[in-house]
Chains A and B, each alone.
Chain A
Amino acid sequence: TQLLEQSPQFLSIQEGENLTVYCNSSSVFSSLQWYRQEPGEGPVLLVTVVTGGEVKKLKRLTFQFGDARKDSSLHITAAQPGDTGLYLCAGASGYGGSQGNLIFGKGTKLSVKP
């Protein structure tokens, strides 16, 4: 069974601080997606990483896919209260149109205090 472990489970920081959350697995994924979920809403896609070692930036968010495509990290610079939410990583085990599951981690719940 493929599992994605996310850490930390909870993170509470002050506005302006930097943080990194991690997504780890013993399995290799063809791609990995990061989502953010706010209370009362569904997850919203932030980014997809596909190539081992890939780094993608989205404003103050930096996403990295591990060289072996088993792990990923999300770094937020100068966090703001608007970054508060549940951050989920999801690994895809198939390629292109192949059948497979998108496996979600349990998430990191981030709270950024003003």
Chain B
Amino acid sequence: DSGVTQTPKHLITATGQRVTLRCSPRSGDLSVYWYQQSLDQGLQFLIQYYNGEERAKGNILERFSAQQFPDLHSELNLSSLELGDSALYFCASSPDRGVSSPLHFGNGTRLTVT
């Protein structure tokens, strides 16, 4: 058990809809990362938050947004969903903001857009 909790585990929704994925980091970890994993693209970095502030941005679409709350949990909002957004979405946490810190991953949310 990595200590990182992601909910929900599975999500099925229709195109055009909006969903929110939730992540609780390991106790004491200040950084939260969001990754998208698909069969053809592998693990793609979306965004990182450190102690409530955006730290680094990757290949995140404008339709996607995230935030980290004062209690350090994070939410990833996906809107105007398209079929191509179907993927596994992982949250990971680490104690500090450095990119070299090992990441502890949750078990992901599997999003299916129909």
Contact = CB atoms under 8 A, between A and B. Distances in A.
Residue of A41, A88, A105 most packed against chain B (CB within 10 A): A41
Contact of A42 (B96, B99, B102, B108): B108
A48 B2 contact: no
Contacts of B45: 101-104
Residue of B4, B42, B90, B96 most packed against chain A (CB within 10 A): B42
Interface in A30-85: 30-31, 33, 40-45, 48, 50
Interface string A76-114: 000000000000101011111111111111110000000
B103 A45 contact: yes
B83 interface: no
B58 interface: yes
B103 A97 contact: no
Contacts of A94: 98-100
Interface residues of A, number: 29
Contacts of B105: 42-44
A44 B98 contact: no
Contacts of B11: none
A54 to B, nearest CB: 14
A95 B102 contact: no
B100 A43 contact: no
Residue of B98, B106, B108 most packed against chain A (CB within 10 A): B98
Residue of B43, B100, B103, B106 most packed against chain A (CB within 10 A): B100
A94 B58 CA distance: 14
The 3 closest A-B pairs by CB, nearest first: A42-B105, A106-B42, A104-B43
24 contacts: A41-B107, A42-B4, A42-B90, A43-B90, A43-B105, A44-B105, A45-B103, A48-B100, A48-B102, A88-B43, A92-B100, A93-B99, A94-B98, A94-B99, A95-B100, A97-B96, A98-B98, A99-B97, A100-B99, A101-B58, A102-B99, A102-B103, A104-B45, A107-B42
